[in-house]
Structures are given as structure tokens and as C-alpha cells.
Chains A and B, each alone.
Chain A
Amino acid sequence: MWNETVIKMIGIGILETLYMTFLSSFIAYLIGLPLGVLLVTTDQDGIAPRPLLNKVVGVIVNLIRSVPFIILLITVMPITRFIVGTTIGSNAVVVPLILASAPYIARLVESSLKEVDQGVIEAAQSMGANTKQIIFKVLLPEAKPSLVIGSAIAITTILGYSAMSGFVGGGGLGDIAIRYGYYRGETQIALVTVILMVLIVQAIQELGDRWMRRTDKRLN
């Protein structure tokens, strides 16, 4: 059973999983980070209160977040086909992964930014800083350690989602686990893929922790 083909397949599976995870994480952050900033700044007590906008964005984020990923995966297939041209394979899965994780990231970013001391924001305001300057010179840099930890959480969650997409032929380790482990009952292959996933999650979390500890100037 452990012939070269299987090992090669698992190797490709690892690469596909990493590809899906990091590509969708990256794009999801391009959407989620500004959304998180928007949620914090337009809040009633934020630096540029826009209660209506805040409410609308908040509701949309919650709506998407409340749809189970597996349902979302199937529902957005027409959009996936439109953008990628196909609904199977690693590239196709990136679309629902982004859609599902961007709102999640927005909430993670929001909670990180809310940790920034209100007094520091007030100090910046007292110096005549405008909204943009407060976002880029105070909120984001001061929340950086928390944002880093948040990103480790987001990436590992996206990794889990990517595995789930194996059900619709998404590729990667999840796909292998489902095809070999679930449909064919080859538990050994399933077990190996699961162990590999665990290792990847561990590695990402560890890297995140280390990076956070290195960036956080409050800790030395």
C-alpha cells in the first residue's frame, strides 16, 4: 500500500493544502483586515463613528459567519465557476475559503484592535492625528502582537476548512483523507493525513507564538 505513488500523492497533498491555506488566508486578510478596521473605527465609541455603516457591515459579517462552511461551499459554486472556471481542485476551493474566512478575520481583527488602550488613542487625538494616522500609526502597530496571534488562529481555521472541502473534490490532504479513509476505508492513509494536518497546525501556531513574542515590546 505504501508505494511511491501514495507517498507522492501525500506529498502533493501537503503542498496543495499549504497552497490553498496560505493563498486564501492572504486574500481573506486583504478583505478582512480593512473590514475589521472599519468595524472598530465606525463603532459608536470609535474614532470615526458611523453607526449605520457599522450596523450594516456587522450584520453582513454575522450573516456569512452563521452559514456552515459546507453549505457555503456548495452554495457559492456558481460564483466559483464564474471566477475560476471550475468547481473542483485546489484553485476552486480558494473562493469559498476566502468568502468564509474574511468575515471571521474581520471579527478577529476587530477584537485585536479593541485591545488597544483608549488612552493612547486619546493621546494621538490630542496631538492632532487624523483618522488615517490613528489607524496606521496607533491602532495597527499597537495591536500587532495580538494581530499576529489572531492570524495564527485564522490560518489554522482556514486549514481546517480546506480539509472539509475534500468532500467536493477540493484537493489537498483533506481530499486524500476523505477519498482513501472515508470512501475506501484505508484507515492508515487517513491516519497519516490527519497526523500531517496536526503537525502543520502545530507548526503554524508555534510560528505565530514565536513571532508574537518577538514583536511584543511589552514583554521584555
Chain B
Amino acid sequence: MLSIKYYFNTVLSEIMEVEDLKNLKPIIELVGLSKTYQSKDNTVKALENINLTIYEGEIFGIIGLSGAGKSTLVRCINLLERPTEGAVLFDGANLASMEKKELLKARQSMGMIFQQFNLLMQRTALDNICFPLEIAGVSKKEAKQRAEELLEVVGLSDKANAYPSQLSGGQKQRIAIARALATRPKVLLCDEATSALDPTTTRSILSLLKEINQKLGITIVVITHEMKVIEEICNRVAIIDKSQIAEVGEMEEVFVKPKSKIAKQLIFSKDTHIDSFVGEHKCRIIFDGRTSFEPVIANMVLECKTPVNILFADTKDIDGKAFGQMVIQLPDDELSRKRIYAYLNSNQIIYEEVKDDVE
């Protein structure tokens, strides 16, 4: 049953990817964006020449270590922080050159959620969701109706009259999501939205975001320092390091073959060091998501009729696709090794030989 569901999802996402390629429409474009903070004694460059395009309908991740500038970056998207240089194009219009009134109007098309939820503590859940509608000038009755609708979307209809202090962290974030969606925005900005939540709640919030993205077609920008958040929901990812973009690409691509040092650092966590392995011939097999239902190693062993020793394995199943890497020790017999390489080649499995001195 499960595999059928996975298979269906895979096919579905492939169809969607093809669809996506047909009509890639940029919704947010950051062009030559820089932000410097000027204090009396020194200047701090928070962002340096950021160029980034986010397309309509995608879930875009921005990941970096703390202090890398990701929070400033997301605040530049809705101009909570005014960039020192560069343009922020939202739906084709440059927010940085807008009149205040226009900008406030444009912000109503961008929802935002936060690490600390930032709900109004003196308002009920329902009234919190009504809040952006009040700002937008929607009538009370209409606002209430929309808020009730949204409570249903986030699955908290029974908490309409509860105050934030009576809700759990996950529930607060759900209310915050409902509030951010109230004005039917085109984009949802998530600033470390799951960083204050436990793993189980994080997963449920992420799946809610995914659902919102798929059902309502809202573009989602996710800021996080956790790789697992990116893995779980993002289509594309930008890695930000020392105020600059270090790498941008499809999530799978970056995950399988990280190019920048910071990306490798984020993806292959510290315990993946292999310098303690012994033996002459080692090979790293990379799982890129295409070889998911095939028992790769077992088939290889059966086909090549030679045992291999698994030295290290770190693979993950994402949406029915396998990602990660495995380091295997190959037999000393040259023929057997060649067979294995040939097998890998013919099955288009990505691999590389591992030398002893690589880090």
C-alpha cells in the first residue's frame, strides 16, 4: 500500500516538475541586494550582492548558519529591512522604490510567520486571524467568516476562542499560519518557523506548509538553519554563508552533489569523516533519488557475485526517493572490482572512488 502511494507521489511530482518547467514565472527577484549596518565605529555587511530568483509555486529554502544573514535576507524580501543597495522585485514591481502606501499594500500579498509566532496575546485565535483583514479594511463579518475558514484549514476550529497563552507551540504556529494566509497572499515567508518546536510538531507544521503550497499554490520561502527542514519540503535551496549566496540549486542536486564547502558542511554532518577507514579500495555510492525502489547493493552483489563491505551509510528516504551516500569497501581482486564499476556504470548509479587521504 505504502509503496503504491509513494509511487503515485513520485509520478505526480515528476508530472508537476515538467509542468513547472513549462511556466516558470518569477515571483520574487533579488537583484544585486546588499545591506550594511552603519554604526558610529564600524560598518557591518549583513548581505552582499545577493542575486536570487524565486519562482511562483515553489518552496524555496534559504539555509545558513546563524549569523550568515538569512534573517536579514528574508526581511529584505518584504522590506521590513530596507536594503542599502539593489532591487527587490515582487511580481515584477520594485518594492525598494515604492511609496510607503504602495509598499504597505504590497505587503498584504506576502504573509509571514516567525520563530516566536508573534501572535497578539490579548486576542483570541479567531481575532488574531481577523487582524490582517482588519488592516486590509475587510468588513468584520467577512473577516470572521474567512477566519473560521482558515481555522479549518489549519485544523483548529475548536480553538477559535482560545487565547494564545492557552495554546501549545504547534497550535500557536498553526494560528500564525492561518493569520498569514488570511489576506490570500501570493507568498508565505517563514522565518525559522519550526525552530522553536519539537521534532514531531516540526514535521506536522512542515506537512501543513507543503499542503498549503500544493492546494493553494502559494509560493513559500523557508528560512532555516536545519537541513532536515529543507530536505522535507523544499524544491530548491540557496545556501547563504558570510552574507553571500554560496550555492543555489534544486534541492536534490545540492543534496547529492554539494559544491561549496559550506554546503558540504551542512549536508554531511561532522560524523561522516571517513579518515578512519582502512583498506585499499573504497567507493562512495551516491543516492540521488532516482534509484529508490531498487535494492542497489544487494543486486550489485548478486550480479557481480562478489561480497562488499559497507563501511559507512547515510541515506534518507524523501518522498519515496533515496538520498545520501554509502561507502563500500571493494574486494582486492581487480576483476571483481571492475565488474562492480561496470555494474554501477551500466545502471547509471553515481559513484566515486575514495582515496585514503580525502577528508
Contact = CB atoms under 8 A, between A and B. Distances in A.
Interface in B236-270: none
Interface in B40-63: none
Nearest to A130: B104
Interface SS majority for chain A: helix
Given A127-B135, A220-B163, A138 B107 contact: no
Given A128-B107, A141-B123, A220-B166, A119 B183 contact: no
Given A126-B107, A142-B120, A218-B121, 20 more contacts: A117-B121, A119-B116, A120-B119, A122-B114, A124-B135, A125-B107, A127-B108, A128-B103, A128-B104, A128-B107, A128-B108, A130-B104, A133-B134, A138-B120, A141-B123, A144-B122, A216-B122, A217-B124, A217-B163, A218-B163
A149 to B, nearest CB: 14
B136 A137 contact: no
Range class of the A interface residue count: 20 to 34
Contacts of A130: 104
Interface in B93-121: 103-108, 110-112, 114, 116, 118-121
Contacts, number: 81
A89 to B, nearest CB: 41
Contacts of A220: 163, 165-166
Given A220-B163, A220-B165, A220-B166, A125 B80 contact: yes
A219 interface: yes
21 contacts: A119-B114, A119-B118, A123-B114, A126-B78, A126-B107, A126-B112, A126-B189, A127-B112, A127-B135, A127-B183, A128-B103, A128-B104, A128-B132, A133-B134, A142-B120, A144-B122, A215-B122, A217-B165, A218-B165, A219-B165, A220-B166
B252 to A, nearest CB: 31
Contacts of B104: 128-130
Contacts of A138: 120
B131 interface: yes
Given A126-B80, A128-B107, A137 B134 contact: yes
A218 B167 CA distance: 11
B135 to A, nearest CB: 5
A62 to B, nearest CB: 24
Given A128-B107, A133-B135, A123 B163 contact: no
Contacts of B163: 217-218, 220
Contacts of A137: 131, 134-135
Contacts of B116: 117, 119
A216 to B, nearest CB: 8
Interface in B140-198: 163-166, 176, 183, 189
Contacts of A129: 104, 135
Contacts of B132: 127-128
Given A119-B116, A127-B131, A133-B135, A142 B121 contact: yes
A119 B116 CA distance: 8
Nearest to A118: B118
Q: Looking at B106, B114, B118, B164, which has the most chain A CB atoms within 10 Å of its CB?
A: B118
Interface string A99-143: 000000000000000000101101111111110010001100110
Contacts of B120: 120, 138, 141-142
A147 to B, nearest CB: 11
A120 B135 contact: no
A145 B119 CA distance: 16
Nearest to B182: A127
A127 B107 contact: yes
Contacts of A218: 121-122, 163, 165
Contacts of A117: 116, 118, 121
Nearest to A120: B118
Contacts of B110: 126
Contacts of B114: 119, 122-123
A217 to B, nearest CB: 4
A211 to B, nearest CB: 14
Interface string B304-334: 0000000000000000000000000000000
Interface string A204-220: 00000000000111111
Q: Looking at B80, B122, B135, B136, which has the most chain A CB atoms within 10 Å of its CB?
A: B122
B118 A217 contact: no
Q: Looking at A123, A129, A133, A219, which has the most chain B CB atoms within 10 Å of its CB?
A: A123
A128 B105 contact: yes
The 7 nearest A-B residue pairs measured at CB: A128-B107, A123-B118, A126-B112, A119-B118, A128-B104, A127-B132, A217-B163
A130 B104 CA distance: 7
